[in-house]
Structure 1
Amino acid sequence: METDLRHAIERSQLFLEYQPIMSLENRRLIGFEALARWRHPEFGLVSPLDFIPVAEESGQIVAIGQAVLEEACRQARSWQENHRTDPPLFVSVNLSVKQFRQPGLVNHISRLLAEFKLAPRCLKLEITESVFTENIEAAVQLLKQLRNLGVQLSIDDFGTGYSSLSYLHRFPIDTLKIDRSFVSQMAESEENFEIVRTIVVLAQNLGMDVVAEGVETHDQLALLRQLGCESGQGVLFSYPLGVGEIDQFIAIYNLTRPPFLNSVDGFQARHAFVA
């Protein structure tokens, strides 16, 4: 798979889909998460669960990450031009540990913002707790440099890693994203409910936003609202969308803000990948 993946990068077989991120309070569309996809010429769509680990192990994740960043910034700029929202829609992009530690990352992102004339607050960078496993001081300084560009910063899959809570208040982080493994069982498991509640309270106490990942049911939505969770993403709202579907989705939610259903016409699942 490693060789095929290298060819895929060279031949532009990778593409992006975008999963909507919604305000749970007022059903407002606030942004999208950019998700890498691979359409193999022989095997069709390859699950990210299969090719992302290969990319990370081989180091190809850096090239993929750079391509994703560039395309996501280009797309976010088009949203700024075509859809006037207040605040403007943001795009959220995952940074792998290897990409985060690449020399020149700050300059690369600064160049992309200038090239696409993208308002910095429209770019949100997602990191995992893994970036803090080595040299926390260096990680904090790099995050501060990124924050100085004006971009937003999130910790993805929060609660599944090993970062020390004693350091969390030092990180210039805007958002904690609650891992889907906790959200998926919060209506059935008191333990998972308490984990989600604790993360929401922690984020609120630190002045951070919180996003719930993998919201699939109305029961989960009701509990998240009860806890004061501001935002969420998941198939209850929409599966990841192709570029050609985004304008219609934005128009629907800007004009009508329909109730949260996973049956909004035209946005059914085309495949099973949701992350």
Structure 2
Amino acid sequence: MFTPLAGRTVIVTGGSKGIGRGIARRFGAAGLNVLIVALRLEEAAAAAAEIGPNASAFAADVADPEACAAFAAAALDRYGRIDILCANAGIFPAARLDAMTGADFDAVIGTNLKGTFLSAAAVLPAMKAARWGRIVVTSSITGPITGYPGWAHYGASKAGQLGFVRTACLELAPWGITVNAVLPGNIRTEGLDGLGADYLRKMESSIPLKRLGSVEDIAHAALFLASEEAGYITGQTLVVDGGQVLPESLAALEDMAAG
């Protein structure tokens, strides 16, 4: 049995859809106050309404330091404390290197990597004052472990997040603040539904557990890293991918099925 987190406050950036919405929903079910941050207030509000009265919405661009300071101030004003940050906001537009522009690269790095730093910096005063905090970063297997054509900028941003985590955890340890990352594999979100059943089956065939992950799979991992029981874990990465990165070749998957 885990120590209850009810009554604590979590900020979930990019919390209006996909993995972020699943994380916000799971933390809300655990009794936490949840501030959902997203670019569009109406989408954040819809996600908050799904959770109930202990959740609220805020519109902010995590690439903007003033916007990040504003969502931290809103959390303190509404709930009186900031205990957990789930730095989840991210974008993933595809662009091959021969077509990618500097602006394309900057946009992805600005949201995914700089946004992680700015979000963390915004919540530090409250966490340091409390001498307790959890920062959970949503990275990816793409970049830190694997690659995918068209996502060089995305992969760079996700690998960069892990460099941030490993140094930030050292700086923040004296205040009882842990910093960790979850690395999702292929997760079924609303963004995949339009790709068709054949595409989804191909994706599933590359995963030893033979299914796409759910947003709940990532949310459970984030909740664990935010728990009291994970208080001695910091600077670490938790891969949640159904074993996707493990087979050394297609032959390994075929042999697994044959066995």
Q: Which has the higher strand share?
A: 1
Per the normalisation by structure 1, the TM-score is 0.30
Per the normalisation by structure 2, the TM-score is 0.32
Q: Which has the higher helix share?
A: 2
